[in-house]
Structure 1
């Protein structure tokens, strides 16, 4: 594999870290900024929605800029935003720096994926792409627990310092190691919208609703786990979740090839709903060794269906319109981040009007709704295929 891909992987790794580490720092940020956990959770909303909107819009607006220049500029802005996040004195300013970081990440990540394919032979493009995407998952597995540990060992501000330092190393690496990279053909937002149809929109809604359910719980995982176990530093649980997420990506891809995307997605959503609901049942146990073990087990298992559904969902989306695969996947990424942002809002609402003990149950209900929508979509697609090919 081309060694120059490593610098792009480092970039997606630290973006994944920056995205996911907030969940482990929420109690500390809320306390330091004198806001509630629910309000602090809107930092996740700010990042996710800014990314969801920024990816297609900024990708089009910056299309005429050279790839290497844009990679350097976006990562430098990302570095600066995280550096500022470490020193801001108000929650409002922290909110702004999170939005700036998200917009920079929205430019860098898809560009890094596209750049990776130009650094290797045509026969290795798929591997190069998966390699760069894996950086985000590694950010969840290693980066988020490391950042959470730093934040708990010192203060949450040093977690952002950690992100800023690694981001700056990425900037230097791009400047030194990456060659000039040619642009692909320009695609306008109007052309992107041509890839839509009713079934694709409904399938994207499955992604939004299912992700909203999952990130209702993930955003507030720190107070949820602390409530059940009395453990404040949850970095070990985040590590277990990350391991499950990596395994889930592999299993999801394997099952998609073996039993099909629809079956894999249905199994993933059903299993995910059960595990999320279980987190609302565990508070009936007093904090104990048993409670800690069960939370650890759920954290490990949660990542399998939670991340295993992504390969299946994207494979199903592509099957709906194979000629517009890249466009559909770009909107799939936006749907994912929209769900992340909505998860923080809805989860915060549940906490505000009830307690953290009901977040898991609310998450489970939303995932079940996503499952019901997908069952309808899959039946409609199969019916249409049977009508079009009655002999099949």
Structure 2
């Protein structure tokens, strides 16, 4: 059983690496395809936007498909799309392949979560989902720096790495996940979107959007922000991404613990304030490698703690509707990622390459203000252990 969950996690590792590694190879894409770094950053925007829009639609369209068929179809689309990305001769075609990759990713991840819950008894569902979604966290810690290092001379090698990961996941899932339980009846698209009529849900989803918009405004253009410290050295950039990834893992684990102890509201407000302070100081922290390492550690530590608290807050609003609420949280998250490419590009154009992190500071402060205005202290009480495990796994 553990092996089957790990094979599902290999797929989410491939998806997570694909979604985040682009930030480490933007200058190489820019030089090779003769576009600006800001334009190259739209690769992340189109991927995330397509994911956010298509995830609930694809879940509805494929609801009656056998789960193995859905997983394998998703991985075929994802793997072929990344191979096409590696071969793309023009930037326009590259963007088109990123949309196709998002189709595979948006179909795979929710299905993998559903399969994980079907493979284990109810009391182990939270841990099962945590194992599968752990692939995304490990992608931040390992996949992004590895992909950046492999593509340090040719960004296309990074896309071939993701292609290989997708192919490996396809082989493992195809061989080891036969005989999966039939899918349960799935709600229609209208039902999936119905919780948005609740102002509390809308406020929570909007907070998720603003938090990830703030985070991605800087992360997508991390190579630009880190330029004073790295001097364009891809090895130094890889080191900073490795530190960032490692502390993302730490932040996710730490966030789960403090959410259980203090509640989502306190974690969102405190972690958000720390993240805002780091981006405010980033123009000075990124002047040397020593202080850049500190910034690369503290920012994801705070940010991923908040990332755990955001879905915990949503689930606390209506626990029986947790799956629907968490799917909305995922869409808001990817909309924030998509918007980050645009806001980061605009901030660079208006504020310049050194000062553009200030835009992230303002967005995070807006998220904190919205969270403070739309939550109550009483609503921040820690959730029960089973619910917390479920929430952590989905974050």
Give the TM bin, normalised by the shorter chain.
over 0.9
Partners of 2:63 and 2:185 within 8 A in 1: no
1:302 aligns with 2:303: no
Q: Gapped runs of 5+ residues in structure 2?
A: 380-395
SS class of match (2:43): helix
Aligned to 1:257: 260
Q: Look up the SS of the partner of 2:260 in the other structure.
A: helix
Question: Aligned match of 1:274 in 274, 277, 298?
Answer: 277
Q: Tell me, yes or no, if structure 1 residue 326 matches structure 2 residue 323.
A: yes
Match in the other structure for 1:388: none
- CA–CA distance in structure 2, aligned partners of residues 227 and 84 of structure 1: 33
1:339 aligns with 336
CA-based RMSD of the aligned residues comes to 1.5
Please state how far the C-alpha of 1:381 moved relative to its aligned partner: 7.8
Q: Distance in 1 between matches of 2:195 and 2:113?
A: 20
| 255-264 or 194-203, which deviates more | 194-203
Match of 1:80 in 2: 80
Distance in 1, matches of 2:371 and 2:309, equals 12
Q: Distance in 2 between matches of 1:282 and 1:259?
A: 30
Partner Cα distance (1:193, 1:47) in 2: 21
Question: Who is 2:382 aligned against?
Answer: none
Alignment of 1:14-33 (within 5 A): 14-33=14-33
User: In the alignment, which residue of structure 1 is the partner of 2:310?
Assistant: 313
Q: What TM-score results when the alignment is normalised by the length of structure 2?
A: 0.92
Q: How many pairs are equivalent?
A: 376
Q: Is 2:265–2:309's contact at 8 Å kept on the other side of the alignment?
A: yes
User: Matches of 2:333 and 2:233 in 1, distance apart?
Assistant: 28
Match of 1:102 in 2: 102
Following superposition, the deviation at residue 66 of structure 1 comes to: 1.0
- Residue pair 2:45, 2:342 contacting (<8 A) in 1 also: yes
Q: Distance in 1 between matches of 2:361 and 2:261?
A: 27
Q: Check whether the contact 1:2–1:119 (CA below 8 A) recurs between aligned residues.
A: no
Q: Which moved more, 1:354-363 or 1:337-346?
A: 354-363
Q: Which runs of 5+ in 1 are unaligned?
A: 286-290, 383-392
Alignment equivalent of 1:353, drawn from 350, 353, 362: 350
* TM-score where L is the length of structure 1: 0.93
CA contact under 8 A between 1:67 and 1:180: conserved in structure 2? no
Indicate conservation of the 8 Å contact 1:317/1:328, yes or no. yes
Q: Secondary structure at 1:333's aligned position in 2?
A: helix
Q: Retained in 2: the 8 A contact 1:249–1:308?
A: yes
Counterpart-to-counterpart distance in 1, 2:146 and 2:130: 23
Greater Rg by CA? 1
Change (3 A) 1:381 1:91: farther
Equivalent in the alignment of 1:54: 54
Q: Contact 1:71 / 1:111 at 8 angstroms: preserved in 2?
A: yes
Q: CA deviation at 1:199?
A: 1.3
Tell whether 2:157 aligns with 1:158: yes
Contact 1:215 1:339 in 2 (8 A): yes
- Alpha-carbon contact 2:77-2:103 (below 8 Å) kept: no
1:56, distance to aligned residue in structure 2 (A): 0.5
Structure 1 contact 86–157 (Cα < 8 Å) conserved: yes
CA deviation map 1:145-184 (0-9, x unaligned): 00000110x3000100011011111111111100232202
The answer to whether the Cα contact below 8 Å between 2:9 and 2:131 also exists between their aligned partners in 1 is: yes
